[in-house]
Structure 1
Amino acid sequence: MKWQHVQQNWAAFYEAIVEKWPEVDESDLDEIDGDQRAFISHLAETTGQEPSEIREELREWLAGEIPSDVVMDPAHDNHSIALSAKYVGEGEDEFADDARFGDDDEYPNDGDD
């Protein structure tokens, strides 16, 4: 993931940030408001580590997966759906319920419904 994802969904990342850096609390995160420089400075001050060490930890953390609570955020869903538009046929709306496209009857009901 990129810092831009974190910044745009800042509050949704609180849990993942506190899990990685337990020294931070939500009131600190509220003040930082997604500012990467402020976040690095705060972590360096709070943990006693050098900013370069914090930047490396942050790089490693960003290389991980987006936390599930962020992925489940409706704004993220809409973004993913919009990106899928290139795979949707001409004249179809990527946000529309796919049941109207008539392919739901191609697969027999497995009884789980």
Structure 2
Amino acid sequence: MKWHHVANNWPAFYEAILDKWPDADEADLDEIDGDQAAFIRYIAELEGMERSEAREELRDWLAGEIPSDVVMDESHDDISIRNSAKYVGEGEDEFADDSRFGDDEEDARD
């Protein structure tokens, strides 16, 4: 994952951050608010290491996958839904014909 994934969804990453750095505090994370340099300083202080070591630890953490709780986060879903609008043609009603999905008859019975 890239830092912008973390910064753009900062609160959704709290659980993953606390899993990696259990001594981190949510109030401190609120203050950091996705600022990478501030987060590196925070991790260095928290773990009692040099900033370069903290930067490397963060780099290793970022090499992993985006945690599923972030992917499933409501705000992330909303962004994905808004971004999908670019695939709906101009003047097309996205609700007009969903027969290819097989649920038109179910709606008619309800």
Map 1:35-54 onto structure 2 (within 5 A). 35-54=35-54
- Correspondence 1:101 to 2:102: no
Q: CA, structure 1 residues 105+42, in 2 after alignment: closer, same or farther (shift >3 Å)?
A: closer
- Alignment partners' CA distance in 2, 1:14 and 1:102: 41
Q: CA, structure 1 residues 81+20, in 2 after alignment: closer, same or farther (shift >3 Å)?
A: same
- Alignment partners' CA distance in 2, 1:82 and 1:89: 14
- Alignment partners' CA distance in 2, 1:92 and 1:16: 40
1:20 deviates by 0.3
In the alignment, which residue of structure 1 is the partner of 2:107? none
Identical positions, percent: 67
Farther-moved stretch of structure 1 (10-19 vs 62-71): 62-71
Map 1:1-113 onto structure 2 (within 5 A). 1-84=1-84, 92=92, 96=94, 100-105=97-102
> Under a length normalisation based on structure 2, what TM-score does the superposition of the two structures give?
0.75
1:55-88 per-position Cα deviation (integer Å, ceiling 9, x unaligned): 1111121121112221112221233334445665
Which structure has the higher relative contact order (CA within 8 Å, separation 6+)? 2
Return 5+ residue gaps in structure 1 as ranges: 107-113
1:34 deviates by 1.2
What value does the CA root-mean-square deviation take over the aligned residues? 2.4
- The one-letter code sitting in structure 1 at the alignment partner of 2:101 is D
Return 5+ residue gaps in structure 2 as ranges: 104-110
Question: How many positions carry a matched residue from both structures?
Answer: 103
Spell out structure 1 runs of 4+ moving beyond 4 A.
82-93
> Under a length normalisation based on structure 1, what TM-score does the superposition of the two structures give?
0.74
- Alignment partners' CA distance in 1, 2:55 and 2:43: 10
